[in-house]
C-alpha cells in the first residue's frame, strides 16, 4: 500500500512562471498516477493570477476545492491575544490591539510578529504601551533595512517614485488618475501604468479592493521613517 503523502505548496501561482518545465502539469500527473498523493496549495497574489492559472490548468486540477481564507475577525483575534497576555500576567488594551489590527489590515503574519515581540518586551504585571508598540514596529522594519535598500536599488527612477507615492498614501484607488500623478510629481500616466505593472510582477506592490498598496507592511513603515 502506498504511503499517504501530502504536498503543501505556498505561492502556487508561481508555477506558471517556470520557463524550463510545466510545473503545474508535472504535479498534476503525479496526483493522477498516485492516489495516495494530495496537494494543499495556497495562492498569495490577488491580482487575477490564480484565475488565469486555473483557466490554463483547469483540467489538471479539476478536483481542487477552493477555500478563500479571510482575515480573522477582530473580536476573535482580540480575545485570543488578550488571553495569552493575561495568562502570563501581562496586559494589552483593546485600543492598542485595534491599532495593530487596523495598521496591518487584519493580516495574520505581521500581526503575530508584532504581538510576539510585544509579549517579549512587556514585563510581568506590565502593560503594552504605545511607546513599546512604536519601538517594536520600528525595530522589525530596521531588521530588514538591508533588503529594503537592495530592493530599491534595483528599481528604475519612475518605479521608485511610484513606490514612494504609494507608501505615502497607503492605498491608491486609481494610480492612473491625473490627480495622483500630479500630486506626487510623477512623470506621466503611461509611465505610472508601466511601473505599476512591473512592481506588481515583482511583488513589491499588490492590488486589493482598496487599491494599490505596498505588499510588505514593514517595508512601508521603513519607507515612511526613512524618507517622509
Query: What pLDDT is recorded for position 65?
Result: 74
Question: Which run of H or E residues covers position 125?
Answer: none
pLDDT digits (tens, 9 = 90+) for 73-117: 999 999 999 999 999 999 999 999 999 999 998 999 999 999 999
Is the full-model pTM beyond 0.75?
Answer: yes
The confidence band for 56, taking pLDDT boundaries of 50, 70 and 90, is low
For 50, residues 6+ apart whose C-beta sits below 8 A from its C-beta are 13, 43
pLDDT digits (tens, 9 = 90+) for 3-30: 888 888 776 666 656 655 566 667 767 7
Q: Distance (Å, rounded) from C-alpha 20 to C-alpha 95?
A: 51
- Answer yes or no: is pLDDT of 1 > 50: no
Q: CA dist 5 to 11, 149, 155, Å?
A: 19, 41, 41
Average pLDDT of the chain?
A: 86
> What does the longest C-alpha to C-alpha distance in the chain come to?
66
- Answer yes or no: is pLDDT of 228 > 90: no
Query: What pLDDT is recorded for position 63?
Result: 63
pLDDT digits (tens, 9 = 90+) for 59-73: 555 666 777 778 899
Long-range contacts of residues 75-82, Cβ cutoff 8 Å, at least 24 apart: 77/101, 77/106, 77/111, 81/115
Q: Which residue's entry shows cell 529594503?
A: 148
Amino acid at each position: 500500500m502506498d504511503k499517504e503523502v501530502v504536498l503543501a505548496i505556498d505561492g502556487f501561482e508561481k508555477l506558471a512562471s517556470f520557463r524550463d518545465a510545466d510545473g503545474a502539469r508535472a504535479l498534476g500527473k503525479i496526483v493522477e498516477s498516485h492516489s495516495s498523493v494530495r496537494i494543499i496549495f495556497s495562492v498569495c497574489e490577488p491580482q487575477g493570477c490564480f484565475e488565469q492559472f486555473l483557466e490554463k490548468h483547469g483540467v489538471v486540477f479539476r478536483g481542487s476545492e477552493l477555500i478563500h481564507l479571510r482575515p480573522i475577525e477582530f473580536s476573535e483575534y482580540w480575545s485570543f491575544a488578550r488571553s495569552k497576555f493575561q495568562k502570563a500576567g501581562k496586559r494589552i488594551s483593546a485600543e492598542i490591539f485595534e491599532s495593530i489590527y487596523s495598521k496591518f489590515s487584519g493580516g495574520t503574519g505581521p500581526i503575530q510578529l508584532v504581538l510576539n515581540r510585544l509579549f517579549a518586551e512587556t514585563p510581568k504585571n506590565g502593560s503594552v504601551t504605545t511607546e513599546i508598540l512604536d519601538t517594536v514596529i520600528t525595530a522589525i522594519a530596521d531588521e530588514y533595512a538591508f533588503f529594503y535598500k537592495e530592493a530599491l536599488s534595483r528599481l528604475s527612477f519612475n518605479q521608485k517614485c511610484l513606490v514612494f507615492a504609494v507608501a505615502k498614501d497607503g492605498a491608491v484607488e486609481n494610480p492612473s488618475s491625473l490627480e495622483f500623478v500630479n500630486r506626487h510629481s510623477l512623470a506621466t500616466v503611461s509611465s505610472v501604468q508601466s511601473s505599476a505593472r512591473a512592481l506588481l510582477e515583482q511583488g513589491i506592490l499588490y492590488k486589493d479592493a482598496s487599491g494599490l498598496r505596498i505588499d510588505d507592511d514593514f517595508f512601508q513603515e521603513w519607507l515612511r521613517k526613512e524618507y517622509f
